[in-house]
Structure 1
Amino acid sequence: MTHTAHFKVWRGDTDGGDLRDYEVEVNDGEVVLDIIHRLQATQAADLAVRWNCKAGKCGSCSAEVNGRPRLMCMTRMSVFAPDETVTVTPLRAFPVIRDLVTDVSFNYDKARQVPAFVPPKGVPAGEYRMQQVDVERSQEFRKCIECFLCQDTCHVVRDHEENKAAFAGPRFLMRIAELDMHPLDAAADQGLVRAASAQEDHGLGYCNITKCCSEVCPEHIKITDNALIPLKERAIDRKYDPLVWLGSKIRRRQG
C-alpha cells in the first residue's frame, strides 16, 4: 500500500532556518530515512543528512522525529497515522551545521577527557582473566553505538548550555561506570578513583536520574539503572560512608 505523507523538515544552517513542508510518497515497510532519501531524490536535492549503515548500528542518522530523539533508520513510518504530519528536525542539544546535520564534536571532546583503561601491572595483555559475571555486567554498556541520542535528550546538556563544560553526559558517565566496575582496571593504583572523578571532574552530581537517556537508547541499555545510579552510590559511599573511607585509608597505607 502507498499513501502520501505530509512532512515538515528543518532546513537551514548556522545562521538560522525554518521548517519546510513536503508531500511525499510512502510505501509499506519504509522508515523515516527512506522518506528523507526520497525527498533528496525528488524534491530537495540539497537536503543535508548524515547516515551510513541504515541498519541501526552506526548511530549516524540521529535526529528528532516529532520532537523525540530517534534513529531515522529505525523509525518505521507505520508508527504514524497516514494523515499525521511527521516533523524531522536536527538534534537540539548540538549546533546545526546544515539542515539535519549537527556538530557533535562536544561528545568527542568529552570522550578524550575520560582516562582509558589502565592495565594491571605484571599481567601480559593476552593473560587477562576475569569472571564471566564481570564480563556480562559491562557487556551491556559496550552495545553503545554512540548515536548520542542520550546526550541530546539529557536536559542537563539540552537545556543548559552553561553546564556543558562541567558535565560529560550519560554516554561518558556510563563509560566511567564501566571502567569503575572492571575488575582488571588498575587506575586506583595510579591514584585515579573513577567514581570520585566522575563526581568531581565529569559532573555526575548534575544527573538527577530522570531516565530520559535510557528511554531513547536504541540499544535498550539501562543507562540510569545499571550505570549512573550504581556509580552515584559508589561515589557517595567513598565520600560519606565511614567504613569505606577507613578501608581506603588502610589499603593506601599498606600499599
Structure 2
Amino acid sequence: MPYKAKFKVWRGDAESGELRDFLVEVNEGEVVLDIIHRLQATQAPDLAVRWNCKAGKCGSCSAEINGRPRLLCMTRMSTFTEEETVTVTPMRTFPVIRDLVTDVSFNYQKAREIPSFTPPADLAPGDYRMQQVDVQRSQEFRKCIECFLCQNTCHVVRDHEENKEAFSGPRFLMRAAELEFHPLDTADRVPSAQEDHGLGLCNITKCCTEVCPEHIAITDNALIPMKERVADRKYDPVVWLGSKIFRRSKT
C-alpha cells in the first residue's frame, strides 16, 4: 500500500546549503531514486541529481543515504520503516556543485595518473595467452562501475583533504593492482603504487569494500596483496634479490 514517507534532502550549492523536509508518496517496489524523481515532479523541480541507467551499472547516482554511501537506484524503500525519516545528502568527500551533485573530477585526474596496460613490445594482440585463474582475478576488478563510493567513504581523503594530492584512493590503487597482477603487463606497478599513489596511507579498515555495490573485495584482493608486495621488496632479501635479477622489462 502507498504511504507518505518523511524525507530530508540536502539543498544548496558550493557556498551554502541545508537539509529540507519533504513528505512524499512511496509505492511498493520503489527505490530512493524513484522518490527523488517524484520530488522533482511534484515539489522541487529544480532539485539537482545525477543519474543515468537506474540499474546499478553506471555509477552515476552515488549519494549518502542516512549517512551511508550508496547508489540511489539500488536502495529500496522497503529497507526503511514507514515511520523512519530518510536523509539524502551528497557525497561528502567531493565538492558540491548543487544539491545532490558533486564534482568528482578528482577521480578522473587520478585515473590519468595510472600508466596504461603495457604488454611486451613483440607480443601481437592475437598471441595473448592467459591462464583462466589470471582472467578471473582481473575480471573481479573490472566489475567496477566507477560510482566512487569507495573513494567517498575512504577516511584517508574523506577526513583529510590535504591527502588528496598524495593518495589516489582505493579505486585507483585497485586499478594499479589489476595491472600489476596481469601476467602480460611488463610495467612494475609496486614502487609507483607506494610512492606516487599513497598505498602506505591505506590502513585497511575495509570501509571501501563494505560500500562497493559490485561486492568487489577491494581490500582483501587488491590493497593487501599490493602491500605485501611492497613489504617483500623492502624486507625479504630473497625477493629483493630476485627483483634485481629478474626485473620486468620496461620496453
Shorter-chain TM-score: which interval? Answer: over 0.9
Indicate conservation of the 8 Å contact 2:186/2:249, yes or no: no
Q: Aligned equivalents of 2:177 and 2:45: distance in 1? A: 43
Superposition map of 1:156-167 within 5 A? 156-167=156-167
Q: Pairwise mapping of residues 88-107 of structure 1 onto structure 2 (< 5 A)?
A: 88-107=88-107
Offset, 1:126: 2.0
Quote the offset at 1:14 in angstroms: 0.8
| 3-state SS of paired residue (1:5) | strand
How many Å apart are 1:251 and its aligned residue? 2.5
SS at match of 2:122: coil
Deviation string for 1:199-252 (max 9, x for gaps)? 011000000000000000000000000000001001110122100111122225
**Larger deviation, residues 116-125 vs 99-108:** 116-125
How high is the TM-score relative to the length of structure 2?
0.98
Specify the alignment match of 2:28 in structure 1.
Answer: 28
Aligned pair count reads 250
C-alpha distance in 1, partners of 2:74/2:50? Answer: 14
The letter of the residue matching 2:222 is: A
Structure 1 equivalent of residue 211 of structure 2: 216
1:121 CA displacement: 2.1
Which residue does 2:46 correspond to in 1?
Answer: 46
Percent identity over the alignment?
79
2:244 to 234, 241, 249: 249
1:213 is paired with a residue whose SS is helix
Amino acid at match of 1:40: Q
Find the counterpart in structure 1 of residue 146 from structure 2: 146
Could you tell me how far apart the structure 1 residues matched to 2:165 and 2:232 are? 26
Amino acid of the residue matched to residue 102 of structure 1?
Answer: T
Q: Which residue of 2 aligns with 1:11?
A: 11
5+ residue gaps in structure 1? 188-192
Kept in 1, the 8 Å contact 2:138–2:182? The answer is yes
> Alpha carbons of 1:122 and 1:2: their partners in 2 closer, same or farther (altered >3 Å)?
same
TM superposition shift of 1:125: 1.3
Contact persistence 2:24–2:39 (CA under 8 A): yes
Q: Quick one: which of 218, 229, 236 aligns to 2:231?
A: 236
Q: Deviations over 1:87-125 (max 9, x none)?
A: 000000000000000000000000000000002121111
RMSD: 1.3
Local SS of the residue matching 1:87: strand
Provide TM-score, normalisation by structure 1: 0.96
Per the alignment, in what secondary structure is the counterpart of residue 166 of structure 1?
Answer: coil
Matched AA of 1:216: V
Give the equivalent residue in structure 1 for 2:170: 170
Which amino acid is 1:41 matched to? A
Equivalent in the alignment of 1:127: 127
Structure 2: any 5+ residue segments left out of the alignment?
none
1:54 partner letter: K
- Alignment deviations for residues 145-181 of structure 1 (CA, whole Å, 9 cap, x no partner): 0000000000001000000000000000000000000
Judge conservation of contact 2:233–2:240 (CA < 8 Å) in 1.
Answer: yes
- Local SS of the residue matching 1:199: helix
Instruction: Point out the more displaced range, 243-252 or 80-89.
Output: 243-252
Partner Cα separation in structure 1 for residue 19 and residue 58 of structure 2: 27
Corresponding residue for residue 190 of structure 1: none
